[in-house]
Structure 1
Amino acid sequence: MLEEEYQPRRVLPGHLRTPEPPEAPFAFEVRAARPADLPSVREIYNHYVANSTVTFDEDAMSLREWKQKYAYLHRLGMPFLVAESPTGQVLGYALVTPWKQKRAYRYTVENSIYLGPAASGKGLGRALLGALVDASRQAGMKEMIAVIADQGAESSIALHEKFGFHEIGRMGRVGFKFDRWLGTVLLQKTLK
């Protein structure tokens, strides 16, 4: 089409246009994870494996690995939560794992929180971390550790600090992913 043949699109005045329906509020429910949630959990996690440095994993986790992890955490009585939309979609998850395998560490856990890409920035991380802290306390845990990448995870550090986690240390250049060295920030919260 020639430029001189182009005719600008006519736009109706505001009072004649049909109003856009209001956007539905972002709604979700936090609940205990179930085996049926694991394919969605795997997809959320593997997105971060492939596209970010917030996890130092370089290989995607299989559904079989997630089933084993779920069974292990369930056996230990460790919280594993998901946030679910009203339509049943898993929007994110949060879990704790033993900090170390030695028995003396049995009351200390490390947390993990991952959100589906479309669920970020809507308060879901805050809701999951709050529920995870409460569930861990109810499960008898006494200390929670967060190990967060020192690059690209500033919002995660800020979120943990809002929940009373305090920095206890840093480890520099302990991971190598996407052709660069990465460190970690360690934060800790006492669960009273």
Structure 2
Amino acid sequence: MSGFTIRPAVEADLPALQRIYAHHVLTGLASFEETPPDLPEMIRRWQAIAAAGLPYVVAVATEGGEGGGEIGGYAYAGPYRPRSAYRFSVEDSIYLDPRFVGRGLGRILLQRLIDDATALGKRQMIAVIGDSANLASIGVHRALGFEMTGTFKAIGFKFGRWVDSVLMQRALGPGASSTPTN
């Protein structure tokens, strides 16, 4: 997909990211939050990812095209879990402005996370996908080498119904074939 530049997120991006995320919280099952976080909380979360040295990127529509200069989506790789033994594993998160869904932008953002996390020496990337009916997210993860590892059935309750979480995993770099050096 052309028409977007992928770059690291900066604080000035956070109002747009908060708006995109609020849309997903209020209308979808990709997030199990039910109340959108306010801007200070979104800034705190972004700062935590940045402080950990992990990738947090935005897709900016190039000037002249539809939505030129606007943020079409964002993605980040956060720690999978806080315990030290998980330090070589990250969890991906991707959220798109609804106007830019279905154009391959999620795949571009996910590939960037894979590349950036691999360059940092991470060995596994985990996807925790809200709703087993989220075939688009499952499909883009599968297309980029993720394998299904399981499903938590009826783990969340949102919009008056029980919702599954799908777990997928992808090795990064040498994966588990060698011992990490750091």
TM-score by length of structure 2 reads 0.89
Deviation of residue 79 (structure 1)? 0.3
Runs (4+) of structure 1 moved beyond 3 Å?
Answer: none
Unaligned 5+ segments in structure 2 are 63-67, 174-182
Q: How many residue pairs were aligned?
A: 168
Q: What is the CA deviation profile of residues 136-180 of structure 1, one whole-angstrom value per residue up to 9, with x for unaligned ones?
A: 111221100000123441110010000000011110011000000
Unaligned 5+ segments in structure 1 are 1-24
In the alignment, which of 76, 79, 82 is matched to residue 55 of structure 2? Answer: 79
Between 181-190 and 81-90, the greater mean CA deviation after superposition: 81-90
- Paired letter, 2:47: A
Contact map agreement 1:137 1:191 (CA 8 A) in 2: yes
Between 177-186 and 84-93, the greater mean CA deviation after superposition: 84-93
**Partner Cα distance (1:26, 1:43) in 2:** 24
- Paired letter, 2:42: W
User: Per the alignment, in what secondary structure is the counterpart of residue 37 of structure 2?
Assistant: coil
**Partner Cα distance (2:75, 2:120) in 1:** 15
Work out which of the two has the higher radius of gyration on C-alpha atoms and give 1 or 2.
Answer: 1
TM-score by length of structure 1 reads 0.85
In the alignment, which of 142, 166, 169 is matched to residue 147 of structure 2? Answer: 166
Contact map agreement 2:132 2:166 (CA 8 A) in 1: no
Contact map agreement 1:79 1:139 (CA 8 A) in 2: no
In the alignment, which of 76, 85, 96 is matched to residue 95 of structure 1? Answer: 76
The root-mean-square deviation of aligned C-alpha atoms, in Å, is 1.2
User: Per the alignment, in what secondary structure is the counterpart of residue 42 of structure 2?
Assistant: helix
In the alignment, which of 40, 43, 60 is matched to residue 64 of structure 1? Answer: 40
**Partner Cα distance (1:30, 1:130) in 2:** 11
**Partner Cα distance (2:98, 2:113) in 1:** 20
**Partner Cα distance (2:111, 2:168) in 1:** 16
**Partner Cα distance (1:172, 1:151) in 2:** 9
Q: What is the CA deviation profile of residues 68-124 of structure 1, one whole-angstrom value per residue up to 9, with x for unaligned ones?
A: 111111111010010001232111001011111101101111100011000011111
- State the identity %: 39
